[in-house]
Structure 1
Amino acid sequence: MQTIVEAAPLSNTAVWAGRVMSGLIILFMLFDSGIKLIPLDVVIQTCAELGLPTGVGFARGLGILGLVCTILYAVPQTSVLGAILLTGYMGGAIATQVRVGNPLFSHLLFGVYLGLILWGGLYLRDPRLRAILPFSR
């Protein structure tokens, strides 16, 4: 027999805060994916600085990957899968920043900041996630 655990209801303000946080991540990732799909010269230059391949195909591949993960995150039925995949995407960005020795708070932890907003927004807007990960008050 399966037991269904229900999450404690949140205030309307908390749910909207989660939607805003998720919306900010979605907008950022759409911008990030868009500049990689074109790709803008700054993308190619940044790839070179980070020691990544500088081909247009590589940049577009990253753009498509980011876009697919973002769409999965934006759709409520697949939002948890999208969050997991975006976390992996951010982890790759963090690993790249570690490898080249960029500054901690401005570059290295930027992916961590995005991940915290991403999961915080999802936690506040999705009662299924709150049921799985109940934080006691």
Structure 2
Amino acid sequence: MSTIAETAPVSRPALWLGRVLSGLVIVFMLFDGAIKLVPWPIVTETMDRIGYGSSESLARSLGIISIVCTILYAIPPTSFVGAILLTGYLGGAMASHVRIGSPLFTHILFGFYLGLMLWGGLWLRDGSLRGLIPFRR
């Protein structure tokens, strides 16, 4: 009888592919958070177009949230919590783009693509998640 806590074996290629996918997500999200901390005019103008106003304090707050969630995702013991929080963050971004009628494949689904990379990378590099969500052949 298997338990949820059982760790599935992770092959070397899967581990490295997971690290690369996770690394891409981490770099993108840290960059996204960093440009919101500044915040440059393009950031506040984009937030205004999406309907959140051109508030620099809101941009900074979103930047801090993005960076904290990404750091949680990057640290292996807290990566699952970080993945859950980043999924919520990306879902909010997708909902914002749906609300204003952004293009589907480039703007609305970008958060979905990033979420697939986020969870796919974690699944490939974390044996306990593979044990929790096994894919059968």
**TM-score in terms of structure 2 length:** 0.95
Q: Shift of the alpha carbon at 1:41?
A: 1.1
Task: Provide the C-alpha distance between the structure 2 equivalents of 1:4 and 1:50, rounded to a whole number of angstroms.
Answer: 41
> Hey, what does 1:42 align to over in structure 2?
42
Which of 55-64 and 7-16 deviates more? Answer: 7-16
Residue identity over aligned pairs, in percent, reads: 60
**Contact 1:7 1:134 (8 Å CA) reproduced:** no
**Contact 2:71 2:82 (8 Å CA) reproduced:** yes
Mapping 1:1-137, distance limit 5 Å? 3=3, 5-137=5-137
**Contact 1:18 1:125 (8 Å CA) reproduced:** yes
CA root-mean-square deviation: 1.3
Task: Provide the C-alpha distance between the structure 2 equivalents of 1:93 and 1:49, rounded to a whole number of angstroms.
Answer: 13
**Contact 2:36 2:59 (8 Å CA) reproduced:** yes
Which sections of structure 2, spanning at least 5 residues, go unmatched?
none
> Does the C-alpha gap of structure 1 residues 57 and 16 become closer, same or farther in structure 2, counting only changes over 3 Å?
same
Count of residue pairs the alignment pairs up:
136
Which sections of structure 1, spanning at least 5 residues, go unmatched?
none
Moved over 2 A (4+): 2-8
